[in-house]
Structure 1
Amino acid sequence: MDTFATAPMWAGFLLLVLGTLFVDIFVLGGRHAHRVSTREALGWTLTWMTLAALFGVALWWVVANDAGHDAAYRKVLEFYTGYLIELSLSIDNMFVFAMIFSYFAVPPELQRRVLLLGVLGAILMRAAMILMGVWLISQFAWILYVFGVFLVITGIKMLFMSRHPSDLGRNPIVRFLCTHMRITSDYHGEHFFVRIGGLRYATPMFVVVLLVEATDLVFAVDSIPAIFAVTTDPFIVFTSNIFAIMGLRALYFLLANLAAHFHYLKYGLAVVLAFIGAKMLAEPWFHVPVHWSLGAVAMTLFIAVLLSQARTRRAAAAGDQPGPGGTPRGREAGNRRT
């Protein structure tokens, strides 16, 4: 599939990602398990958002020199829209990660390493899925309508299933591992496997990393088709995805404890998915400009956050602080007493 990106542009972006990971892991102490402070999480969140913004500026400059200002404007809008869509859909991962860490009681100092491994796996998985998606679209143009139907159905399902949290104890991966492997009850640092009494045991760390990777794979099935509604340029699709994934790890530590304050965000994401799917289906009869898509996605997320904050303030005024699932703590306590 056609792309404006040259081989040096691909190489430069990959070097940027690898260089940032190298600095994170080998220069700033990423190799050592430690609790991520709010200050560190905020610093990395702003770093990745700034890099994404600067990347858009550099993209405009390169495309403008080669193809003119109109083409540059279109490509930059596609990148920023794709980045916002991928970042917003990836935020849903954050709440699932929080649930996984809570269920398996992952020590705070190990969570950073789990997410780092999750990011590395996500980059490889998404690269493969993007290549597959690009190939499918180049061979079968009608596959875009399949993506559109899938996104509309997924958005509708999210609207009606958002109130039902998953039971990790019944997760197929957890059940399979618990049935077929010896798993220790305690963590052994960052080790995936240990020997006890001459027998090899997996640690909860191994199970958690597998669940994190599986979670990202599931969410990628939703998010990657969504960006094809904005652009089919492989370079834009890949770069916007990677920037969103890299920034999500830091964003998790910044916002994970505030999940209860974003009760309606999941509904907003459902609307975004349904809107993008409808846009893909309506394309032959009605073209939605990229800047309209960007505005619609941003406005939907903004309204979802505003409604969530209003709900939190009402709960606080009534003396009921929302619990992790958005249920007032006071009401939960009352139910337990009865």
Structure 2
Amino acid sequence: MSVPWWAWLALTAGIALMLAVDLFLHRDNHVIEFREAAVWSAVWVAAGLAFGILLWWWQGDEAAGAYYAGYLIEKALSVDNVFVFALVFTYFAVPAAYQHKVLFWGVVGALGFRLVFIFVGAELLETFFWTAYVFGAFLVWTGWKMAFRHDEEVHPERNLVVRLVRRLIPTDPRYHGERFFTRVDGRRVATLLFVVLIAVEATDLIFAIDSVAAVLAITTSTFIVWTANAFAVLGLRSLYFCLAGLLRRFTKLHYGLAVLLAFAGVKLILSETPVGKLPIPVTLGVIVVTLAVSIGWSLVATRDARPVDADR
């Protein structure tokens, strides 16, 4: 799929504009309520679906199908990000009014990480055929780990990147409003909010490797992989505020995500065998059915559970 430079420029400008609008509307650091989060989630989902229609008009069925398959996988994997973000915010007792700011800059960093991984991963897959086996095996292993080791405790303070930042940058163990940096006794130091941002970025870095590899299993078109990642990640903040209080209803979703990761790994391995790439309709069908079954299973298993206030 050949994409002209102006399409990349227009996409980048569109993403930057959406981020600027989001930042402007939340410049007062108000607490995000469910209704507002639901509206923004609908806006981001509509934008993602609309881009798929535009891609279908511009590049045809196959490109649009690959985009929607990648977008669905990314959107599903975003729910697992929400689990970890909720854990990080709870562990560091982040005030509700500042959570959106952390997630906003966390998303900006996530987009940067994914862009690098996409180009590196696509180049490796195009240059070395055996890379498909390595990425495929990694996705299968990740799926197994998600299915059977999903309940392992996560300790943000033990994260290597967080510990490194605390060692290299003078840090005050308190919040100073919305600021990431402040002055204490005449010395410029990082605040606890900055440590939280680093913890969010560091955990998302791990998720980025899984998610990019999963979409590369569908297509090696950097434009499609990037747009699928970008539109899914852009709605991550509103998704968090929608789902944070309902996370315990999705107790079985990780099994579905594990199946999707393993499926993506097998698909990637098969692409370098006589079987070849699986058709996009088959891929879309597997994704939709897997998500529907895992979500339905979760809702049935937790039908007596009550929502938890996301701000607590």
Question: Normalising by structure 1, what TM-score?
Answer: 0.86
For the residues of structure 1 that align with 2:66 and 2:128, how far apart are their CA atoms? 22
Tell which deviates more after alignment, 174-183 or 42-51: 174-183
Q: CA shift at 1:202, angstroms?
A: 2.4
Letter in 1 for 2:150: S
> What residue number does 1:270 align with?
258
> What residue number does 2:3 align with?
5
> What residue number does 1:329 align with?
none
Letter in 2 for 1:274: A
Q: Is the 8 A contact 2:217 2:264 kept in 1?
A: yes
- Matching of residue 145 in structure 1 with residue 143 in structure 2: no
SS at match of 1:132: helix
Q: Is the 8 A contact 1:162 1:267 kept in 2?
A: no
For the residues of structure 2 that align with 1:120 and 1:174, how far apart are their CA atoms? 18
For the residues of structure 1 that align with 2:75 and 2:108, how far apart are their CA atoms? 17
> What residue number does 1:253 align with?
241
1:224 to 187, 198, 212: 212
Letter in 2 for 1:90: S
For the residues of structure 1 that align with 2:284 and 2:235, how far apart are their CA atoms? 19
Q: 1:293 to 1:135 in 2, by over 3 A?
A: same
Q: Is the 8 A contact 1:41 1:251 kept in 2?
A: yes
> What residue number does 1:17 align with?
15
> What residue number does 1:50 align with?
46
- Matching of residue 295 in structure 1 with residue 285 in structure 2: yes
2:274 to 277, 285, 288: 285
SS at match of 1:184: coil
Q: CA shift at 1:142, angstroms?
A: 2.1
> What residue number does 2:102 align with?
114
For the residues of structure 1 that align with 2:223 and 2:193, how far apart are their CA atoms? 34
> What residue number does 1:306 align with?
296
Alignment of 1:319-338 (within 5 A): none
> What residue number does 1:202 align with?
190
- Matching of residue 105 in structure 1 with residue 71 in structure 2: no
Q: Is the 8 A contact 1:90 1:245 kept in 2?
A: yes
For the residues of structure 2 that align with 1:158 and 1:202, how far apart are their CA atoms? 34
Unaligned regions of 5+ residues in structure 1, if any? 64-71, 325-338
SS at match of 1:163: coil
SS at match of 2:171: coil
Alignment of 1:183-194 (within 5 A): 183-194=171-182
For the residues of structure 2 that align with 1:103 and 1:143, how far apart are their CA atoms? 38
Q: CA shift at 1:168, angstroms?
A: 2.7
1:112-156: per-residue Cα shift (whole Å, max 9, x none)? 000110111111111111111122122212211211011011111
Question: Normalising by structure 2, what TM-score?
Answer: 0.92
Letter in 1 for 2:52: G
Q: CA shift at 1:196, angstroms?
A: 2.2
For the residues of structure 2 that align with 1:179 and 1:231, how far apart are their CA atoms? 40
Aligned length: 307
> What residue number does 1:87 align with?
75
Identity %: 43
- Matching of residue 39 in structure 1 with residue 41 in structure 2: no
Q: Is the 8 A contact 1:81 1:293 kept in 2?
A: yes
Q: 1:138 to 1:163 in 2, by over 3 A?
A: same
SS at match of 1:166: coil
1:228-255: per-residue Cα shift (whole Å, max 9, x none)? 1111111101110100110111111111
For the residues of structure 2 that align with 1:250 and 1:125, how far apart are their CA atoms? 20
Q: Is the 8 A contact 1:312 1:322 kept in 2?
A: no
Q: 1:34 to 1:231 in 2, by over 3 A?
A: same
Q: 1:177 to 1:263 in 2, by over 3 A?
A: same
Instruction: Say which one has the larger Rg.
Output: 1
For the residues of structure 1 that align with 2:117 and 2:260, how far apart are their CA atoms? 21
Q: CA shift at 1:198, angstroms?
A: 3.2
For the residues of structure 2 that align with 1:156 and 1:268, how far apart are their CA atoms? 11
Q: Is the 8 A contact 2:245 2:307 kept in 1?
A: no
